[in-house]
Amino acid sequence: MDKKEILDRAKDPKLISGIYNYCDRWCERCSFTSRCLNFAMEEDQKRKADGADENNEQFWSQIQDSFDIALSLLADLAEEFGIDLDAVEIEEGAAPENREHILSAMAGQYIRTVKEWFDLNRVSISEAVEKENAPLKLVRAEAEEGRIPIAEAIEVIDYYKYFIGAKLERALKGKDEDAGDDFNDLPKDSDGSAKIALIAMDRSISAWGVVASRLAGHKAAAAEIIGRLKRIRGITEKEFPEARAFVRPGFDD
């Protein structure tokens, strides 16, 4: 595709200008692929756009519905296992003073915790997924009830484990670059990056809620990890108080 073709395609009124700037890059799960120039330019993926938007919108709606349940479950599990949800624990040496922001350290710690959890529990995760998928009737019943399959919850956790830290890094860097900027009333890229990081945290919390409630023997671990995410989310909201209000083209307008 040459420059003229790209410019001609960009004129399509169906496309939303700049929608790809504040997305999560998970095209297979996006509800707006048919309105995204970036996706349209991916020739090998264009066939997936047809009919995908509606299904993906339903998927994320189910994830959002699980969010409040996950937080309620977290409170119960924290009390049961004696987890302090307000404590902020950083690994020794993880955040040298004046060198690394606490959010960077906590996001890095979250990545290591999730990777360790996957490494230690690959067999039990695989067995749970196979068990859930074995009887066709059960799969259909859960779909009718709007329950998120364990496999999809695991997919959400795995996809966002690095994404959260990457977007927080971009947000923090952007905030430093914005310091002293005279255009304080304009939307800031740092807030947009922080917002998609917060959305990824919300979705991950919901997915961990599925793990806590439906993957036997993992309640305590899931509760602790949800607590970590909740603390990272709280600090992010304080660091970027306007992030939630940031309007992402297409997604929020």
In the block, residue with structure tokens 């409170």: 75
Burial class (CB in 10 A: 0-12, 13-18, 19+), 181: exposed
| pLDDT tens digits for range 126-150 | 888 888 776 544 444 444 455 778 8
Count structural domains, the chain.
Answer: 2
| Structural domain includes residue 73 | yes
| pLDDT tens digits for range 236-246 | 999 999 999 99
Per-position pLDDT tens, the chain of length 253: 455 566 677 778 889 988 988 898 888 889 898 888 888 876 544 555 555 666 777 777 766 666 666 667 667 766 776 766 665 555 544 444 444 799 999 999 999 999 999 999 999 888 888 887 765 444 444 444 557 788 889 999 999 999 999 999 999 999 888 766 655 667 899 999 999 999 999 999 999 988 888 887 888 888 889 989 999 999 999 999 999 999 998 888 7
Same domain, 85 and 186: yes
- Report in angstroms the alpha-carbon separations of 7 from 4, 103, 234: 5, 39, 41
Same domain, 48 and 111: no
| Structural domain includes residue 77 | yes
Q: How far is CA 155 from the centre of its chain?
A: 11
| Structural domain includes residue 114 | yes
| Structural domain includes residue 247 | no
Task: Provide the 8-state DSSP code for 16.
Answer: P
pLDDT of residue 235: 95
Same domain, 82 and 198: yes
Domain that holds residue 13: 3-53
Same domain, 80 and 138: yes
Same domain, 73 and 126: yes
Same domain, 182 and 137: yes
| Structural domain includes residue 200 | yes
Closest CA to 153 of 222, 221, 103, 76: 222
Same domain, 17 and 104: no
| Structural domain includes residue 250 | no
Task: Provide the 8-state DSSP code for 25.
Answer: S
- What tokens appear for 11 in the block? 């004129």
Cβ–Cβ < 8 Å for 206, 160: no
pLDDT of residue 142: 46
